[in-house]
């Protein structure tokens, strides 16, 4: 702060956990970063109806829906999202280490329906003893580099990947 100037506090917009569609509208007025395009409980219900037990927990945090998928069903779920539900773009994919005894790693997929401007996050959990997930490169070719990075950085193998070699 320059001499003679007043300290200013920057605004920080935090979107708290929400549980109702109306809450997203309220949050949009309070927080310009909250988007109704990420609140998709009906889509999560449709996936559960179609894929049954392969769809696990569905969470909502900061107005964003996350669907946990059994690793054996991830390719079928991704293909249905692309072919039948309009999620034609894999915007990002990555991994994280949860540092837990069971299901230590998570592979996340952020997908986008460009026409309807909707976003969805999928997650697959895998154990440290068997860190293998089927490749989704047959659904979205751009998954190639993401999966190679996950293999290189975290040791997660993507079964069926045609060129799983290190990037670094």
Residue-level pLDDT at 18: 47
d(C-alpha 164, C-alpha 152), whole Å: 9
Residues paired with residue 69 on neighbouring β-strands, in sequence order: 55
Question: Which residues, including other chains, have CB under 8 Å from residue 115's CB and lie 6 or more apart?
Answer: 86, 88
**Grouped pLDDT means (10 residues each) for the chain, 168 residues:** 71 52 54 66 93 94 88 98 97 95 96 94 96 97 96 96 88
pLDDT tens-digit map of 54-95: 999 998 877 788 999 999 999 999 999 999 999 999 999 999
> In the prediction, which pLDDT does 60 show?
81
Q: How many CA atoms lie within 13 A of 160 on its CB side?
A: 12
Per-residue model confidence (pLDDT) at position 11: 63
């Amino acid at each position: 702060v320059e001499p003679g100037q007043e300290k200013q506090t920057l605004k920080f917009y935090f979107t708290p956990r929400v549980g109702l569609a109306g809450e997203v509208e309220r949050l949009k007025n309070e927080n310009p970063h909250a988007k109704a395009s990420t609140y998709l409980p009906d889509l999560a219900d449709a996936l559960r109806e179609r894929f049954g037990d392969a769809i696990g927990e569905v969470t909502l945090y900061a107005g964003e829906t996350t669907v946990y998928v059994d690793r054996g069903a991830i390719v079928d779920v991704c293909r249905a999202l692309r072919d039948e539900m309009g999620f034609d773009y894999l915007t990002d994919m990555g991994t994280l280490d949860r540092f837990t005894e069971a299901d230590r790693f998570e592979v996340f997929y952020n997908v986008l329906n460009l026409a309807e401007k909707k976003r969805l996050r999928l997650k697959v959990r895998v154990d440290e003893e068997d860190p293998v997930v089927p490749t989704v490169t047959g659904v979205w070719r751009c998954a190639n580099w993401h999966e190679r990075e996950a293999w290189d950085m975290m040791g997660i193998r993507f079964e069926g990947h045609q060129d799983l070699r290190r990037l670094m």
